[in-house]
Amino acid sequence: MKIVVCVKQVPDTAAKIVAAGGEVTWGEAPLVLNPWDEYAVELALQLGGDVTALTVGQEGPNEALKQALAMGCGEAVLVSDPALSGADSQAIARVLAGAVSKIGAVDLLVFGRQAVDDDGGVMAAQVARVLGWPCLSLAASVQVEDGTVRTERAIEEGRQVLSARLPAVISVTKDIGEPRYPSFMGIRKASRAQIPTWTLGDIGIEAPAPALSFLETFNPPTVEVEVEMIAGESPEAIAASLADRLIAEKVL
Amino acid sequence: MNGPIAVYIDHFKGQALAASWEALAAGRRLADEAGTRLQALIFGAKVSELAEQAIQYGADEVYTAESESLRDYSPEPFASLASGLVGEAAAVLFPTTTRGREIAAMTAIDLNSGVITDVTALQLDGDRMVAEKPVYAGKAVVRVVCRTDPQILTLRSRAFPKGEPDPNRQGSILPVSVSPDGADGLSSHQGYAESGGGVSLADANIIVSGGRGVANNPNLVPPDSMDEKETELWRAHQGYKLVGDLAEVLGGAVGASRAAVDAGYIPYAHQVGQTGKVVSPDLYIAAGISGAIQHLAGMRTSKVIVAINKDPEAPIFKYARFGVVGDLYDILPALTDAFRQRLGG
Ligand SMILES: Cc1cc2nc3c(=O)[nH]c(=O)nc-3n(C[C@H](O)[C@H](O)[C@H](O)COP(=O)(O)OP(=O)(O)OC[C@H]3O[C@@H](n4cnc5c(N)ncnc54)[C@H](O)[C@@H]3O)c2cc1C
Ligand SMILES: Nc1ncnc2c1ncn2[C@@H]1O[C@H](COP(=O)(O)O)[C@@H](O)[C@H]1O
């Protein structure tokens, strides 16, 4: 089976994010493989076969691809093109779909649930739609058998079982199982890997026009909450005054 | 504004998710301001009751697609239906639910437009909707517009007020025909699984959450013959019982930190935070939770936060409206009793 796993490089989730002068910065915090994509890579490796990690990003070293290789992906591809600055999700989706077509004969395309920088959560569905493939998103478990993929989809009400014929697109949740740690050999292999970079020309598409304009990015005003500590002689006394205060706040 | 505003009504077995009515109310306000019509889209096996409700909540026209083949959701036919109906719309609003987000994403591709997800504020500027959307787990906010029509947006649950139904409102119901699709390129519904129960954290007005602290009561004596891990899980179970009792008295849902989920105390469906659910209830009670940045990312916008923690230095106190330094094993049962007395039941 030929699997492509789409991954993204993002700032570490513990980073302090500063938005100023139209730019977002994260200080010294490292760039990492999007945490949700660790689960996507894990699932791809569990399913086995020929696994390629794919990203659209800036030129240069890419932590997401490096980590994916270190975890055990056989190959990695970076798509990078100056014409993609200002791209929105549908534009990236069209580029990813183009890259998947160039890779060719892909059976399964795996995504993380969402990228922790743009918090979009739309890419799997959009790429599926561009390719005309079925989309099984938010998979908590996945089985592939006889050219059919079957997933349990996490929904508000519990879980829904969906199936589709390959080729198909899936996105995964954490229920897939803990992502493996890269082995020492894996890390060495990843650090030596020559990762090919494709331009839009290599894929054979024009830069898709963005539909969205980002007007500004700002840090939300810090609402100074003055914490009111509730103390008392006994747990009962504390509970009584806390209950009264909450009833007075009209949140019950 | 060139064209109506359409709102997708997400429901499960004929029961609308609250976020659908929130999106409809937001759509009503914008349609009035722009002087255009408000449409609702409802797909399913039996939708006439929902259609009536949609009119009461503000729709001028309701497009209903009713068919046995739409009894259970699968993305492709639902997205195709939506795309077929909103081609002339100026904007389409979806609730940010698992289904709403997916259909919105696909519709944007079908109609060559853009999608803005998880919008927390919306303003009209001429014929454009200027949206605010949290990014980096809410550490920053972007202001963004969609330059193409229809402008497709998904509205975050509980970020917009729901509005009151008006039983006297008039509107028209417009059934659309559903042609069964071929089976190619489609995912198909196979049933519902028992596992992973449905905690509706996103809709809850009140959430009581427990963290790693729930397992920390050395005074509890476990039954004989338990190994260390079993004892820890047994203790956690006692702690979550206290969390659950309080949630029950308050009519709320139970949440958890990732540390508690990872330790196996409670299923992942309860996890609040950056890699769990993002919630914004009126009241969030955090017991035995330290307040890591990734947890805060999931609940910081709650209206009132209460922190109960043994450690007076716990970071969670910096974000709380009310704080109690104490043992959750003492405070939670006392609080449950106090509310039981005050609220009855
Ligand atoms: C990529 C990534 C994503 C993450 N995503 C999430 C996420 O989505 N959600 C999330 O929650 N975390 C997430 N985390 C984990 C996060 O960093 C913290 O590790 C986690 O939130 C800690 O959980 P906790 O507060 O329950 O545990 P701890 O930090 O161990 O805190 C336990 C608290 O309980 C108190 N306590 C102990 N016993 C008692 C008692 N008897 N009574 C009262 N108080 C008591 C202690 O004083 C302490 O403050 C993520 C981390 C990473 C790296
Ligand atoms: N630039 C990108 N390159 C490759 N994959 C991506 C990219 N952006 C997002 N993805 C994938 O799409 C998923 C959802 O991303 P998003 O819709 O941006 O939240 C991520 O978890 C990744 O698997």
CB contact under 8 A, B330 and A218: no
Q: Nearest Cα to B27, choosing from B18, B38, B19, B35?
A: B38
Query: Ligand 1 centre and the CA of B173: distance in Å?
Result: 50
pLDDT at residue B342 in the model:
93
Give the mutation candidate from A96, A160, A234 for the B interface (greatest B CB count, under 10 A).
Answer: A160
pLDDT at B183: 53
Q: CA B218, B219, B224, B230 torsion: positive or negative?
A: negative
Interhelix angle for B75-85 vs A123-131, to 10°?
Answer: 80
| 3-state class (DSSP) for residue A241 | helix
CA distance B326 to B323: 9
Best of A37, A116, A122 to disrupt the B interface by mutation (most B CBs within 10 Å)? A122
* Residue among A111, A118, A173 to mutate when testing ligand 2 (max atoms within 8 A of CB): A111
CB B339 to CB A245 under 8 A? no
Q: How does pLDDT run across A165-194, given as a tens digit for each residue?
A: 999 999 999 889 999 999 999 999 999 999
* DSSP symbols for A23-62: EEE-TTPPEEE-HHHHHHHHHHHHH-SEEEEEEE--SS--
Averaged over A58-82, what is the pLDDT?
97
Mutational pocket test of ligand 2: of A31, A32, A34, A214, the residue with most ligand atoms within 8 Å of the beta carbon = A34
Per CB-CB distance under 8 Å, the chain B contacts of A122 are 101-102, 104-105, 108, 115, 117
- From residue B55, how far is each of B6, B84, B91, B151 by CA, in Å? 13, 21, 19, 23
Q: Return the number of CB contacts < 8 Å for A and B.
A: 271
Distance B257 CA to ligand 1 centre (A): 6
Answer yes or no: is the C-beta of A121 below 6 A from any ligand 2 atom.
yes
pTM (2 decimals)?
Answer: 0.90
Which residues are within 8 A (CB) of B3 and not within 5 positions of it... i.e. 6 or more apart? B36, B88, B89, B90, B149, B150
Nearest chain A CA: its distance from B339 CA (Å):
6
Q: Is A56 in the pocket of ligand 2 (CB under 6 A)?
A: yes
Answer whether residue A232 shows pLDDT above 60: yes
CA–CA min distance B114, chain A (Å): 5
Each residue's pLDDT expressed in tens, for chain B with a length of 345 residues: 889 999 999 999 999 999 999 999 999 999 999 999 999 999 999 999 999 999 999 999 999 999 999 999 999 999 999 999 999 999 999 999 999 999 999 999 999 999 999 999 999 999 999 999 999 999 999 999 999 999 999 999 989 998 899 999 999 999 999 876 655 568 899 999 854 444 478 778 899 999 999 999 988 988 888 999 999 999 999 999 999 999 999 989 999 999 999 999 999 889 999 999 999 999 999 999 999 999 999 999 999 999 999 999 999 999 999 999 999 999 999 999 999 999 875
Q: Compute the distance between CA of residue A54 and CA of residue A101 in angstroms, rounded to an integer.
A: 12
**Is the Cα dihedral A233, A237, A242, A248 positive or negative?**
negative
**How far apart are the C-alpha atoms of A130 and A133, rounded to whole Å?**
8
CA dist B251 and B255 (Å) reads 13
Per residue, the 3-state secondary structure of B236-250, as one string, reads HHHHHHHHHHHHHHH
Which residue among A17, A36, A252 places its CB closest to the CB of B140?
A: A17
Contact: B79, A129; criterion CB under 8 Å: yes
Is the Cβ atom of B260 under 6 angstroms away from ligand 1? yes
Among A10, A13, A26, most B C-beta atoms within 10 A, so best to mutate, is: A13
The closest CB to that of B321, out of A90, A159, A228, belongs to A228
Reported ipTM: 0.92
In the predicted structure, residue A224 carries a pLDDT above the cut 90 = no
Q: Which pairing describes strands A212-218 and B140-146: parallel, antiparallel, or unpaired?
A: antiparallel
What is the tally of helices (H) and strands (E) in chain B? 8, 18
| Partner-chain residue, chosen from B274, B324, B339, that has the shortest CB–CB distance to A13 | B274
pLDDT tens-place string over residues A88-114: 999 999 999 999 999 999 999 999 999
Q: Where are the beta strands (DSSP E) in A69-147?
A: 75-79, 108-111, 135-145
Residue B297 parent element (H or E) = helix B293-299
Pocket test for ligand 1, best of B220, B310, B335 (most atoms within 8 A of CB): B310
Q: Measured in angstroms, how far is the CA atom of residue B258 from the centroid of ligand 1?
A: 6
Per the DSSP assignment, residues forming a β-bridge with A133 are none
Whose Cα sits closest to atom 49 in ligand 1? B290
Residues of A in Cβ contact (< 8 Å) with B144 = 212-215
Question: Which are the contacts of B257, defined by CB distance < 8 A and separation ≥ 6?
Answer: B209, B210, B211, B212, B271, B272, B273, B289, B290, B292, B295
Q: Is A243 exposed, middle or buried (0-12, 13-18, 19+ CB in 10 A)?
A: buried
Question: How high is the pLDDT of residue B321?
Answer: 96
Give the residue from B322, B270, B164 showing the smallest Cα distance to A251.
B322
Q: Report the distance separating Cα B14 and Cα B10, nearest Å.
A: 9
**How high is the pLDDT of residue B194?**
58
Which of A14, A120, A158 minimises the CB distance to B192? A158
Q: Whose CA is nearest to atom 7 of ligand 2?
A: A8
Cβ-contact A139, A153 below 8 angstroms? yes
Residues A158, B197 contacting (CB under 8 angstroms): yes
B25 Cβ contact list (under 8 Å, min separation 6): B57, B58, B160, B161, B162, B163
The string of DSSP codes covering B186-205 is -EEEEEEESSS----GGG-S
